[in-house]
Structure 1
Amino acid sequence: MTATRPDAGRNASPYLYGEEAAAVARVLEAGQYGHTDLTEEFERQIAAYLGVPDAVAVTSGTAALHSALLAAGIGRGDEVIVPSLTFCATVQAILAVGATPRFVDIDPATLCVTPQHVVEAISDATAAAVPVLFGGRAVDLGPIHEALTERGIVVIEDAAHAFGSRNGPRHVGASGTALTCFSFGPIKNLTCGQGGMVIPRTPEEADAIRRIRLLGVVQSQSERTNTTTYNVEGFGLRYQLSAINSAIGLAQLSRFATTVHARRGLWRTYRDALCGLDGVTLIDVGPHHTVPHLCQVRLPQRDEVFADLRARGIGVGVHYPPNHLQPAFAAWRRPLPATEQAAAEILSLPFHQHLTETDIDHVVCALGQALKSAGAS
């Protein structure tokens, strides 16, 4: 059995550049920890990076999805098309607004939905489609945009994995035809410690999401400091992003070009190292236009290989158990053969910026040994 390399023992890990601690310290010293001008500066800089008019910060990627669904008017009696192969948060956000999921299959090569999957799932109750940009890869629903618009079906992108990725010449989130939801959780391409962002299509959607994230209050925090009252005009939640988290995000954003280069380089190093292994299929994220969030392979005897690699101290994982087979979502179960086959074969290799080429060689060598052991058993 090979000796464990510490960085190979983690499937994912936050990567900090050093400026984050000082940025947080400045917020702590200022004594204003909630939603402040720093939060709004983070929104402005994200919008500028993406090339969009506006961005609305919230507490998490799940909060982003929930807020976007509410702002789009999705609710009870509505059906939302969504792939089963995603983190359960995507489905929980749909249920949180009273809608029901319509699970659809995926393209086995990308683990993402296609326009055809979406079109085939449309029913009279369909109100929204939530493509999941799995691993960071953009999902282009442009070919069916007109058909969806004619039916009043809104597209809400779960881009939790995909900040910085591109769809053609534009960044994910800059199409203007979808509400796009990003996650800035601990292990995402850009981290705030915890946080999320919604990219609205219109100023009206931006206003709605800002009301929702502030318990339905219309006035901004700065406006409320100059008045003796405020107006609550509808349902809302406490989804504001704190100045502490925004400070981390701003520090990360200033170094994001380095992040893009590093993550693409690590993924390509894996690609080259895996070429010599028979029976292993790398999920191609398209690194020319993607900022990779995961490095995944498909392989036979996945469960045996998973157990072997964990025993060797290699931090492999599985993203994700399919939702249509989960007990909580059994009411909406339907056959999804490509999803079920992929779910039995996918394995996420350690992927984070602490890895070195030597770490990756170590992981791939251990994978080769585990495959041989599984074949001999």
Structure 2
Amino acid sequence: MNDVTAAKLALTGGDPVLRELAPTGWPVTTDADRAAVLSVLDSNVFVSDRPNEPTAVERLERSWAEYLGVRRCVGVSNGTTAIELALLAHGVGPGDEVVVPALTFVATAMAVVHVGATPVYADVDPNTFNMTADGLAELITERTKAVVPVHLHGLSVDTDAIGAVARRHGLVVIEDAAQAQGARYRGTPVGASGNTATFSLQMTKNLPTCGEGGLVVTDDDAVANRVVQLRQFGETIHPGRPRRYVSHRLGFNAKLNNVQAAYTFSQLERFGEYHEARRANIAAFLDRLKGLDGLLCPSEPDGYEHAWHILRFVPDLDAIFPGTDAATARDLLIRALRAEGLPATRYQMMPLPEQPALRSVCRQERGSWPVTQDVVDRSFTIQQRHLAPDAGPLLQGYADVIEKVWAHRTTLADLAEGADH
């Protein structure tokens, strides 16, 4: 033990490793970002439906498409809307089933329900936390129209394998890349696989805006044109022509505004620099933890480049707290980490199909996603504070916290036994 790990746990009256929870530090707003936003305010052009002048939304769309190497990018109001409009643009609707992972944010399934389709939930891999091709194949029926694989926490799914299953069954693939800006799969940026993909620009994301926003990317001009119509009341707006106010399909008011687009466009200038700094910081952090017994750390499989949006850890609670139920053990471990200054959280509180809002539209039996349930029951996450490029020293402090708590596993096991009785 070193001086840090030998010290008494803060949970039992000792001094914490970190005196207070660090501020998130994300997003990093610079003078360039402020100038970009002020330029929109000075222009008095705030929305994207102005046919006679280029807008910040169009600049962002072109730049993100160029970054990914895809033909089209369409800016929309948020990441959830991006999934909804992508589904509708591919003709998904009432009577259709859409396979989604059982472990993801609720928006993935809600988007499916919002377009009138039924979500069907695939269990996930216990190491990557992502949907697998085998899990998808088991759920396909004559009603399956699409699959929405989620690149959870910033790690790509096996796009090739899932794509092969989808092609074999004639399924539409719409990738949910809300947490995966900057991730790569076998050298290809997530979103550039040839499928339609959606991104979130919400302020906590790796590529943020000053609020909410979303992007839909595709190589299919027809799909992109439908999304453009759907975001603007079903209208077609031609550059250089007056707006006609004719709706060709039932659309929405789902536009991205120019202030938010300008902020993200400015952030995009530093996106690569931040991405590389984050990867270096997290590699050094995880290198400190890889030898700890009973702790499954987030990892990067060969051929993948993780964006590290969220860090999820799965402890072996049975080994650390023998005879203690998972909920008691998990909560005690999280309390110990937080007492030392590491803001550990659970993130998902239940498998996605167990969400009260979604139970009535779930056709599967409860318990059909045992891996997801186990991950939810046992894991803790680190979110947002690690995203800033200068978060390296903070992450080293977090490594000190985890090493200290792991060095006192026996003390925690004794506390758990007392709590259990």
TM-score using structure 2 length: 0.83
1:44 Cα deviation after fit: 0.4
Contact between 2:156 and 2:180, CA under 8 Å: does it hold in 1?
A: yes
- Percent identity (aligned): 32
Q: Does 1:376 align with 2:414?
A: yes
Bigger Rg, which one: 2
Q: Does 1:125 align with 2:143?
A: yes
Contact between 1:129 and 1:154, CA under 8 Å: does it hold in 2?
A: yes
d(CA) in 2 for partners of 1:196, 1:26? 21
d(CA) in 2 for partners of 1:103, 1:259? 34
Contact between 2:341 and 2:401, CA under 8 Å: does it hold in 1?
A: no
Q: Does 1:341 align with 2:374?
A: yes
Please identify, of 331-340 and 251-260, the stretch whose mean Cα deviation from structure 2 is larger: 331-340
Contact between 1:267 and 1:295, CA under 8 Å: does it hold in 2?
A: no
Identify the match of residue 30 of structure 1 among 22, 25, 43: 43
1:145 Cα deviation after fit: 3.2
d(CA) in 2 for partners of 1:17, 1:131? 34
Query: What pairs up with 1:27-66 in 2 under 5 angstroms?
Result: 27-35=40-48, 37-66=55-84
d(CA) in 2 for partners of 1:33, 1:5? 43
Aligned residue in 1 for 2:214: 196
Aligned AA (1:338): V
Aligned residue in 2 for 1:97: 115
Identify the match of residue 233 of structure 1 among 248, 252, 259: 248
Aligned residue in 2 for 1:186: 203
Q: Does 1:15 align with 2:28?
A: yes
**CA root-mean-square deviation:** 2.1
1:3 Cα deviation after fit: 5.5
**Any gaps of 5 or more consecutive residues in structure 2?**
1-9, 11-15, 318-328, 416-421
TM-score using structure 1 length: 0.92
d(CA) in 2 for partners of 1:318, 1:135? 13
Q: Does 1:106 align with 2:124?
A: yes
Aligned residue in 1 for 2:334: 306
Aligned residue in 1 for 2:348: 320
Aligned AA (2:297): L
Aligned AA (2:200): S
d(CA) in 2 for partners of 1:33, 1:7? 37
Aligned residues: 372
**Any gaps of 5 or more consecutive residues in structure 1?**
none
Moved beyond 4 Å, runs of 4+: none
Contact between 1:195 and 1:245, CA under 8 Å: does it hold in 2?
A: yes
d(CA) in 2 for partners of 1:48, 1:70? 25
SS in 1 for 2:305: coil
d(CA) in 1 for partners of 2:374, 2:277? 31
Aligned residue in 1 for 2:101: 83
Deviation by residue 1:58-77 (Cα, 9 ceiling, x = unmatched):
11111110110111111111
1:354 Cα deviation after fit: 6.0
Q: Does 1:205 align with 2:223?
A: yes
Deviation by residue 1:14-72 (Cα, 9 ceiling, x = unmatched):
23344111110111111111116211111001011111111111111111101101111
Identify the match of residue 70 of structure 1 among 88, 103, 112: 88
